[in-house]
Structure formats: structure tokens, C-alpha cells
Amino acid sequence: MRARTPSRVLAAASLRRSIPSLTVRYQSSSSTSTWQPALPRGEMPVYDEALDFLASHRKECDKQIERLRSIAEPTPEQRAEMDAWEVDGYVNDPATRSLFKETGGSGYMDRPVMRHLAERKWKKEGGQDLIMGRIYQNKVVPDVVPDIAPLNPLLLAVDNQTIEPGSTMDSRSIEKPPALHYQSFQHPSIPTNKNPNPSALYTLVVVNPDEPDTVNHSYSTRLHYLKTDIPLSVISDSEHIINSTLGKEIVSWEPIAPPKHTDRHRLVFVLFRQYKDTFSKLTSAPPRENFNVRSLMATFDFPLNSIVGINLVKTQWTEESSEHIDNVWKKYRGADKAPVFSEFAHHARSAKPLSPVQKRAEALRERAWQRSVEELEREMADPTEIEEEDVPRSGKPE
């Protein structure tokens, strides 16, 4: 059933102003919400009628929900119908909307309507577009993973502040693992009366694909963290995936420490859904050096749709962080201090894409440069074109 929008509700209420009021008076659907009607009853009849209409509709939907709940073992179709009735009945309920605004749904994700509102916010208010854009802009595809489908929220926070994907941070602020939270909007398997919020197992991989490879004069990927068999459900949004006791930690956390003159380093967090008992054949921890996420996906049967969440931050060497970076190299890599590389131009993988105007300007500069080089080559090939006054009149230099 299609949910009624507030505009439809108000329109219906306006048409019914001449009809005697419903006996159902509006009551808050959530005792934990701080919502109160904006106007005292009687001050604006159309507002009262809208609230009465919503309350009446919610009660009708509640009847359908109770009918389905009375079934001893509902089928998957009946459970889906039950969820649809709740969304239809509560999606425009003022108290529910107020509670979602206050909490973002956190602590209430067992309710289908809260997951519906959270998913709609994620997709309609730019959260999904932002992370997908930053993934492609910062070349996570194809440098780390071959491709991705639309993702669920995998949020990073430092000191209780959510970090925008792709932000450049001081390496000292992420010496300890940032808080990492995952939100799924759909149950990973069919709920039952005994297990209304089933969980699935997930794998978290944290890598730096900008590790200098001095042998090949290129870059390699370094593994900074690996945890498998993490049980998560729709109500696990408050779980700190890295610091919690959930799952099996295979490779412990190593802080990222970019050497001097190596530009920005990307720290990429990738969450996989495990569809099989994939890690039963993992007998030892993989080495950190030359780690390959694609090889991990191939070895443990991770299809592309198993990637459910990605996030990233960037960091680079600074004078202020140099001591911290040296200490990380000494503690975790057994070096006296971090290496120092020759200064070089910024590589394109961490650069922002050019705008259309910048692309045209770059093309004009390239054509002008080519013409200048061609003219110079012609002059060098034909010395007779050198003007006479440029040749000294005597053998002695002037």
C-alpha cells in the first residue's frame, strides 16, 4: 500500500471539515518522543483533522499488524506484509518522525519504519551519493576493489565526531582505530519469532594503497587491520566494529604513518558480507606487505555484491606529525625512524578530477607546448634559419 504524504493528509482533512469530527483523538505513538502538537486543539480545525486522520489511519494499520502477529509462524510474505503495514501506518506519524529526527533511528532499528526513514535519508539526502563520489574520485575503484554496487552506511567517527568520507586528517588523530559503525536496512535472512533480528557474518579490511614500492618505483598496498566473522544485524548500528569483542581479529591495528614526500595516503575501510564459511581455510595471518584485496576476494569467494560498506580518510606527512610518524615506524616496523623520499609531483590518484573548464585550459596549454617544441625542433634541424645578427662577426666571443 502506498504511504500517504502529508500533503494528501491535509487535503483529505480539508475536504472533511464539514463532516463531524472522528471520535478517535490523536495520541502519540511513542512515549519516548518529545513531540507535542504544534497548536492547541481547536485553534486550527484543519490541523486537528489532519492529526485525527493520521491517528485513525495508524489504528487501522495496527489492526492489520495484530492480525498478522497472531499467526503462530508467519510466512516470509506475511512478515513482509506486516512490515509494509507498519511503514504505511507510521511513516507520517508526527511522533515517529520526531523520534527519528532526535535519534536518527539509533536504538530503534528493530522497527521497519525507522529503517525505512533511515534508508530514505541515506539515499535522498546525499549520504550515499557522497561516499560513492569520494570512492571514485579518490580512485578506490580500481586501486583497491574492482567495482562496487550502491553501499550501506559505514561511518567513521573520531572523538564522537563523524568524519566526512575522503577527509584529510592528521595521522596523530587516527593513531588509535576510529569508531566504525555499520547500518544495514534489510534483515540478512528471514526473521523468526525466536530470532526477530537475525545477524550475518562480515569481514573488515583496512588498507593503505599508497605504500611506496621502491623496488618497482610504484605503489603497493599495506594491510593495517583484518577482522573476520563479525556478527552484525539491523540493530548493530551502535557497535564499534574494530574495538568491540565481536568477530575474530586476524591482523591487529597498525597506525598509518606516511613518510616525508610521499603525498597523501588513503586509509580505506572495506566491509564484506560473508556468504560462506570462507575463513575456515585461513591458517595464519597474511603479511601486511604487498596485500591485495582482489586476491582476498578471489581466495575466499567474495563476489562484488559482498562489498556492503566502504569509507576512507587521507593523511600525509607534516612537520607537526613527524615525531609521531617516526615513532610508529620504530614501534611497528622496527626502523629507527620513517624513511625520507625524494620530493616529487603529486600523483594523480589522490588528486581531484579536473572540471570541464580546467580540462579545456589543460588541453590548450598542451597544444601550445607541443607547437613550441615542434618549432624549436625545426630550428635546431635547419641552422640557416638562425638570423644573421645572432651569429658573431668574428671568431672572438663578444
pLDDT digits 0-9 by tens, 234-253: 999 999 999 888 999 999 99
The rounded distance, in Å, linking the Cα atoms of 73 and 68 is: 10
Strands 200-213 and 218-232: antiparallel
Q: Residue 138's CB: how many other CB atoms inside 10 A?
A: 24
**Residue 79 — very low, low, confident or very high, per pLDDT cuts 50/70/90?**
very high
How many Å separate Cα 289 from the centre of its chain?
A: 25
Helix (H) or strand (E) holding 208: strand 200-213
pLDDT value for 48:
93
CA dihedral 297, 250, 277, 270 (to 10 degrees): -40
Q: Residue 107's CB: how many other CB atoms inside 10 A?
A: 13
pLDDT value for 380:
80
Q: Give yes or no for residue 11 having a pLDDT over 60.
A: no
The rounded distance, in Å, linking the Cα atoms of 308 and 155 is: 12
Summary mean pLDDT of the chain? 86
- Dihedral sign, Cα of residue 289, residue 177, residue 269, residue 204: positive
The pLDDT tens digits of the residues spanning 302-335 come to: 999 999 999 999 999 999 999 999 999 999 999 9
Mean pLDDT of 69-85: 94
The rounded distance, in Å, linking the Cα atoms of 54 and 8 is: 11
Q: Give yes or no for residue 103 having a pLDDT over 90.
A: yes
Q: Grid cell 511513542 — which residue? A: 30
CATH architecture of 146-333: Alpha-Beta Complex (3.90)
* Pair 232, 221: CB distance under 8 Å: no
pLDDT value for 355:
66
Q: What is the DSSP-derived secondary structure letter of residue 143?
A: H
C-alpha dist (Å) from residue 24 to 20, 55, 56, 98, 343: 12, 7, 6, 21, 74
Q: Where are the domains of the chain?
A: 45-124, 146-333
pLDDT value for 217:
84
The rounded distance, in Å, linking the Cα atoms of 302 and 297 is: 5
**Angle at 75 (CA atoms; ends 70, 77), nearest 5 degrees:** 110
pLDDT value for 386:
52
**Exposed / middle / buried, residue 326 (Cβ in 10 Å: 0-12, 13-18, 19+):** middle
